[in-house]
Amino acid sequence: MVVKRGFVEIADGQVHYRHAGKKDSKRPLVMLHPGPTSSHAIVPLMERLAAHRWMVAPDLMGMGDSDGPAENNPDMGYFAEAVIRFLDKMGITEFDLWGSMTGAHCSIETSLRYPDRVKRLYIEMVNDYDPVTRDALQHHHAPKITLDQIGSQINLLWHLARDQHVFFPWFERDAAHRRTTGLPTADQLHEKTVELLKACRTYHHALNAALHYETGDKLRGVQVPVFGPEWFKKYLPNTTVRGANCVGPSTAKPEDVDAAAKEIMRHLTV
């Protein structure tokens, strides 16, 4: 099924979004994408879910084709409130909420602030980093991009997009930090880089808000039903542990996206 696109105007600026599936009386599934790109990253997952749910996936403010944040140094609360302003304009009051990585942090914060509107929270992927890794990520993972007349930003963002698949963290390029998953296709890397380039002036705001988000402590206060990784139980004992997950569906293997879609529908059937 075709994934369509649109824009909505909120007080902060224009929000770009993707949507798929049939808009009907069923509760919609709102999907908040991983960083550092946009809702483009979850298109393959949306295509597989479109037969079951109406899905709405905004680009977080400052990412993809959405305008940059209307605040300086915004925290995750800002992004959560912007999502709600977008949903208000869409006429969506109650919804299930899916999030991955940056979108997972935003989903958790949205659920905390609006437990009357979020009916179920499904976290595809988010990590519980040790203090050393977290400190390194906060300082180096999402650099503010400086534009110049020789296009060095193009080279930097190409390597950011590519090296995330080769090293973790992507900026630690030695054998000790090498990943074994291999590279996506040339087309997939190109599309990922283009999404980064479009938002190169503002993409870092949401990523840095996520990296400074106190995920564990925030989870303790979530009141809605949660489906997530095993480590959530440390903070939220009543978490339902989900099975298969998919990081970056736009660059994942088709069979991994298939498995993730089946797991989502196993928990979020309406």
CATH value at residue 251: 3.40.50.1820
The rounded distance, in Å, linking the Cα atoms of 37 and 248 is 10
Nearest to 5 by CA among 20, 15, 17, 21: 17
In-domain check, residue 19: yes
pLDDT band at 103 (very low <50, low <70, confident <90, very high): very high
The pLDDT, as a whole number, for residue 25 is 77
The rounded distance, in Å, linking the Cα atoms of 155 and 160 is 9
**Residue 62 is encoded by which pair of tokens?**
């400052």
The pLDDT, as a whole number, for residue 181 is 87
Instruction: For residues 64-91, give the mean pLDDT.
Output: 97
The rounded distance, in Å, linking the Cα atoms of 189 and 182 is 12
In-domain check, residue 182: no
Tally the domains of the chain.
Answer: 1
In-domain check, residue 39: yes
Reduced to 3 states, what is the DSSP secondary structure of residue 217? helix
In-domain check, residue 258: yes
Nearest to 217 by CA among 232, 239, 238: 232
In-domain check, residue 242: yes
The chain-wide mean pLDDT, for the chain, equals: 96
In-domain check, residue 176: no
The pLDDT, as a whole number, for residue 247 is 87
The rounded distance, in Å, linking the Cα atoms of 212 and 220 is 17
Domain residues for the domain of 47 are 4-139+210-268
By the 8 A CB rule, do 265 and 46 touch?
A: no
Instruction: For residues 12-31, give the mean pLDDT.
Output: 94
In-domain check, residue 194: no
